[in-house]
Amino acid sequence: MTDIVNSLLNGDSQYLQIMVILTMITIAPLLLIMLTGFVRIVIVLSITRNAIGLTTMPPNTVIIALALFLTYFVMSPVITQINETAYTPYIQNEIDVQEFMDQAMVPMRDFMLRQTYESDLDFFVDLSGIGDGSDGSVAVEDVPNHVVIAAFMTSELKHAFAIGFFIYIPFLVIDMLVASVLMSMGMMMLPPATISMPFKILLFVLVDGWQLTFGTLIKSFG
């Protein structure tokens, strides 16, 4: 243990790389949620499942796995850019840890800013009190990362619920139609969800619902 501490204090790059890797593994789930499209994807998939009326199918494990793979699909250009501009130079000892973090945040910031509503960014800029203009505005490149991340996560929630709303409408119409038919037939004691669920599943299958949902999610990041 003493040798490891001494090596760290003496700047041994091998031990520093091990420490960086262990730290990244520890905070990877948090970074995945904060800096990628995972939040939008997992919320939309969960809303889709609830709209059909299947509260446990697909199970949460499958929903999270789908969200992870779709997130990787969406983020692959950003990951490639980080690998080329930050990770590869770092492992080749061309840049230090601080430069690695700075270089890695450049493509992440570009991605987050493309997905962030201007109103959300302005809102958090005002809350942070960093505006230096007469109207309290600040250049985008001067906005700190923590402000960008907060605005990005808020915008992701807006995107997710907007997409979920449009997904929910067709299934809500089916529920209303089934409830109206049951009321007209005097079957008020029969839960409409029991009858409408097979029709909603059939509709989802006929229109290739999963493909439409995945396509909508991926295109929403464009």
Q: What predicted TM-score, i.e. pTM, was given to this entire model? A: 0.77
- CA 21, CA 10: separation in Å to the nearest integer? 19
Q: Phi and psi for 191 in degrees, rounded to 5?
A: -60, 125
Q: What is the pLDDT of residue 137?
A: 64
Separation in Å, CA 196 to CA 16, 76, 117, 154: 58, 39, 37, 34
At residue 33, the pLDDT reads 79
Nearest to 45 by CA among 28, 33, 62: 62
CA 206 to chain CA mean position, Å: 28
Instruction: Name the token pair of 200.
Output: 């909603």
Contacts of 65 (CB under 8 A, 6+ apart): none
Count of C-beta atoms within a 10 Å radius of residue 156: 23
pLDDT tens over the chain, length 222 residues: 444 444 444 555 566 667 777 777 777 777 777 888 888 999 999 888 888 887 778 888 988 998 988 988 988 888 888 888 888 887 877 777 778 888 888 888 888 888 888 888 888 888 877 765 555 567 777 778 888 888 899 999 999 999 989 888 888 888 788 778 777 777 767 676 777 788 888 888 888 888 888 888 888 887
In this predicted structure, what is the pLDDT of residue 13? 59
CA–CA distances in Å: residue 83 to residues 51, 71, 114, 218: 39, 17, 20, 22
